[in-house]
Amino acid sequence: MSGLKVRLFGKFSVVSGEQGTKGFDSGKPLELLCYLLLHRDQHHNRETLAGTLWESNSTSQSKKYLRQALWQLQNVIQNNENSFEAPILIIEPEWIRVNPKADLWLDIAEFEKIYKRAHGFQGWQLDAETIQALEYAVELYRDDILQGWYQDWALFERERFQNMFLSILDKLMVYCEAHGMYEKGISYGVRILSIDQARERTHQSLIRLHYLSGDRTAALRQYARCEEALHEELGVEPAKRTLELYEIVKTDEVLDPNPKSMPAPENQNPPEPLQIFIPNLMGQLKEIQWFLDNAQQRVQNDIETLEQVLSSQT
């Protein structure tokens, strides 16, 4: 690849062709670039963008800082422009965006594409090709994005990608159990708990995987770790399903290795295509309803304000 290769997972890095690039490593220009890459499919109004990145400053001051950061970023890009077939950014008087035609490889873009491919399906429903793609997504996720950044937008994005990563690991664990790949499934579970040690569903899967692999002792120890983590972090007892699983292991009963036989949460069956579509549609409709209700309330407030003004003038 002759264009730009950008990694946001773990330590930020930019490579042009086979060579490292200079200048993409400091201050607000880097923050501006990362924000634009994370929202690469959008046109960004300059005033809104400035208010997001310099929220503690006045509108005029924040727009000035944006111009300065953009000028610095353009200089860095121009210093490396011999490697680029198309400009990385499209810059207009009122808006800025990442050029969709730029020769740009972005790790988070690859990661999101793979996540969307498997979204809405359980691990045991996925084919080998999709599982291979999920494994590649795990490789891409070298560490959390934007480490050391604590702006509100950065914290939101870090949590969003972390949740996607945990979901991918969940699917891989279920797939591994369904195909008897117990050790590999355990390695995914350990990685999940390194991020969220009180994630009970992961403890449940690890108990199952240890027990199915023939290590009853490890399964019992996993339950003890689950109980301790729930107590320390959340102050709660293990769920009924976790206790039932513990009793099966403790009494050395036979455990069905097929994850499809596990009771679904809230008495739901494994999702068929229609069962996947309807909840997604319902969520979208509820979101639209929230926006409409909110807009209606704002209109009502404005009407009442105008009526008060008119009343005071008569």
Residue 195, pLDDT > 80, answer yes
Pairing of strands 4-7, 13-16: antiparallel
Q: Which tops the pLDDT comparison, 26 or 140?
A: 140
β-strand partners of 111: none
**Element counts in the chain: helices (H) and strands (E):** 11, 7
Cβ–Cβ under 8 Å, residues 233 and 203: no
- Residue 275: what pLDDT? 44
Residues 17 and 4: their CA atoms lie apart, in Å, by 7
Beta carbons within 10 angstroms of residue 25's beta carbon: 12
Q: Which tops the pLDDT comparison, 136 or 11?
A: 136
- Residue 149: what pLDDT? 87
Q: Which tops the pLDDT comparison, 48 or 278?
A: 48
Domains of the chain: 4-106 (1.10.10.10), 107-259 (1.25.40.10)
Give the residue from 232, 252, 250 showing the smallest Cα distance to 242.
Answer: 250
Residue 266 pLDDT class (50, 70, 90 cuts): very low
- Residue 13: what pLDDT? 86
- Residue 66: what pLDDT? 94
Q: What is the mean pLDDT of residues 141-154?
A: 91
Contacts of 206 by beta carbon, 8 Å cutoff, 6+ apart: 186, 189, 190, 193, 219, 222
Three-state secondary-structure class, residue 192:
helix
Residue 191 pLDDT class (50, 70, 90 cuts): very high
Q: What is the mean pLDDT of residues 235-255?
A: 94
Q: Which tops the pLDDT comparison, 43 or 83?
A: 43
Q: What is the mean pLDDT of residues 134-139?
A: 98
- Residue 68: what pLDDT? 93
- Residue 279: what pLDDT? 46
Q: Which tops the pLDDT comparison, 122 or 82?
A: 122
Q: What is the mean pLDDT of residues 189-206?
A: 96
- Residue 261: what pLDDT? 44
Contacts of 171 by beta carbon, 8 Å cutoff, 6+ apart: 118, 121, 122, 123, 126, 134
Residue 74, pLDDT > 80, answer yes
Return mean pLDDT, the chain. Answer: 84
Cβ–Cβ under 8 Å, residues 73 and 88: no
- Residue 271: what pLDDT? 43
